[in-house]
Structure 1
């Protein structure tokens, strides 16, 4: 029995963002069609060392795949010369239970998460959107920008905000155009990328806001936000995390990647617990919008929020594509187990 083992370099050689985006869309649509299962999230805080681990798992009957991903985020590793973001993805054939592949989960996660944020924006933002704000200048942020520019060619300006380190945002913005060309073959003007020197002003100018921080208190306030803004909330993926003002949910059109998981650990977790909104106020899931089952944005003035907590389904479809492409190119290792 042969199992594909793929490292990050192998994944970088075979995965391209447009293909990943299409795979993520297909996973969302299969979920809307009832052809998937999302199993309960497991997480654990290693408080003494400031690390966190989470396990996400699920099954895609439409692709005959099931599996799990364990991710570890240990920020202190940077001081030790070690990568802070690590994990493994395991994929199995759901008709036989036979393992198909084991691979680096960090790169898969970055690619599919970038795709998710952009898909939410494409589905729910105003069609004339031109200004994008990325809240967070960490590892994931460049993937969010790349996917957004791939799906939303009308974007003319991108603000990058880092609430903890303004200089980091400036450095990130200065390097954006070169990184997008090198890593994603996207040709962009360097002048399109700006550090958000005044966060409130940048929020007020932005049509689309993607949040990707580990914050546990609101960074963006409701009074800064103009009518018609779309939010893709990515960072709140564990209990207690929060990036935007809970009152932004009042009167907004709210969508989830998975309602049950979002209520438990997503951006909507605390607004629901605080009584700002009820679970009944959630319009539905993004897959239902993509499949045409429910409407997305209905007016130019309404605020839309896509709460994306991250689903193993996205990792599974992306990982399976990587396995097939790597085998066709004879990359990685085929191991007997």
Structure 2
């Protein structure tokens, strides 16, 4: 029998700061670039296409002697039942013994680590004087993306939020100051937040654009994009999804989080299948850029793209950090299995 730590969403919220998660995510990207990780095949199953699905991602962090998996379900009809649409858990194991170390809620950690990834893409690829941030998508995860980007990049002065329905963006922006302060301890007094009425105009006036939509057709056209723009494409995480015009990729500096997975289900999946771009367009993975193995932006005229599909390695490492702190502060529940 083994005694393991179990953390619910509220436990994880008490423990993890956005700054800490960004550090954890960056360390995982570095480890991956150094060959100290393995990403195992993803299991995906649709119970009802477009309405209910299951996603299992797993991997091995050799440098930390950890392995694990994240199992997440998305059931769209849960809204009518008054329960979350995204539900899941992360299980962490000791790679030296195979013993379970703990389990955590997956939804909150997924939000934190995913948005940390998008923010890191912007940190290392956006122009250094970037002031205008555009978030395309006003779903539950968008607040994490804003918090992470403001944590990673200190030059941001304006944040715009675009949604498929303008009313969603306005209601999202209305409560954003309080939410960022209360949930992430971020002071937003110096930042202007706006709901987007005209997506084209906002794209033309943005230095950093982060897309977090479930779109299966491009929502941003190439002719809207100005020189010097950076994109972190986060929403395309399964086959058939696409958020930006494929032609944008042909004249951009392109980076990915995991080459194989992005080719299969990322923003680059469809452009690769259509022959619009080729594998040679990919300069490298973000970890390669962070470690200086490849070059990134060298001037304010270049357009840069970071395609991030998400890796279980990030979930496992973040969950492990939460479990360690929970042990220290005696937070959560311990159970024998």
Q: If the TM-score is normalised by the length of the shorter chain, which range does it land in?
A: over 0.9
Alpha-carbon distance in structure 1 between the residues aligned to 2:5 and 2:178 = 33
Q: Tell me the residue number matched to 1:32.
A: 33
Instruction: Indicate yes or no: 2:314 matched with 1:326.
Output: no
Alpha-carbon distance in structure 1 between the residues aligned to 2:190 and 2:153 = 17
Q: Tell me the residue number matched to 1:243.
A: 243
Q: Tell me the residue number matched to 2:196.
A: 196
Q: Tell me the residue number matched to 2:13.
A: 12
Following superposition, the deviation at residue 46 of structure 1 comes to 1.9
> Which stretch has the larger CA shift, 261-270 or 50-59?
50-59
Following superposition, the deviation at residue 296 of structure 1 comes to 1.3
Following superposition, the deviation at residue 299 of structure 1 comes to 2.2
Following superposition, the deviation at residue 74 of structure 1 comes to 1.3
Q: Tell me the residue number matched to 2:110.
A: 109
Q: Tell me the residue number matched to 2:81.
A: 80
Q: Tell me the residue number matched to 2:258.
A: 258
Runs of 4+ in 1 over 3 A off after TM superposition: none
**TM-score, with length taken from structure 2:** 0.98
1:182-221 deviations in whole A, cap 9, x for unaligned?
Answer: 1001111386110111000000000000000110000011
Tell me the SS of whatever aligns to 1:102.
Answer: strand
Alpha-carbon distance in structure 2 between the residues aligned to 1:174 and 1:31 = 39
Q: Tell me the residue number matched to 2:315.
A: 315
1:159-191 deviations in whole A, cap 9, x for unaligned?
Answer: 1000x2110001111111111001001111386
Following superposition, the deviation at residue 298 of structure 1 comes to 2.1
> Which stretch has the larger CA shift, 182-191 or 6-15?
182-191
Q: Tell me the residue number matched to 2:147.
A: 146
Structure 1 unmatched runs, 5+: none
Alpha-carbon distance in structure 2 between the residues aligned to 1:71 and 1:220 = 29
Q: Tell me the residue number matched to 1:278.
A: 278
Tell me the SS of whatever aligns to 1:218.
Answer: coil
Q: Tell me the residue number matched to 1:290.
A: 290
Q: Tell me the residue number matched to 2:175.
A: 175
Following superposition, the deviation at residue 48 of structure 1 comes to 6.4
Q: Is the 8 A contact 2:22 2:113 kept in 1?
A: yes
Matches within 5 A, 1:214-229: 214-229=214-229
Tell me the SS of whatever aligns to 1:242.
Answer: coil
Tell me the SS of whatever aligns to 2:243.
Answer: strand
Q: Tell me the residue number matched to 1:209.
A: 209
Following superposition, the deviation at residue 49 of structure 1 comes to 7.7
Q: Is the 8 A contact 1:174 1:190 kept in 2?
A: no
Alpha-carbon distance in structure 2 between the residues aligned to 1:234 and 1:309 = 6
Alpha-carbon distance in structure 2 between the residues aligned to 1:308 and 1:185 = 26
Q: Tell me the residue number matched to 1:99.
A: 100
1:270-295 deviations in whole A, cap 9, x for unaligned?
Answer: 01011110011100000011111111
Q: Is the 8 A contact 1:176 1:190 kept in 2?
A: no
Q: Is the 8 A contact 2:4 2:102 kept in 1?
A: yes
Q: Is the 8 A contact 1:49 1:76 kept in 2?
A: no
Say if 1:2 and 1:152 are closer, same or farther in 2 by CA, change over 3 A. Answer: same
Say if 1:218 and 1:40 are closer, same or farther in 2 by CA, change over 3 A. Answer: same
Q: Could you say what the CA RMSD is over the residues aligned between the two structures, in angstroms? A: 1.1
Alpha-carbon distance in structure 1 between the residues aligned to 2:194 and 2:47 = 36
Q: Is the 8 A contact 1:326 1:332 kept in 2?
A: yes
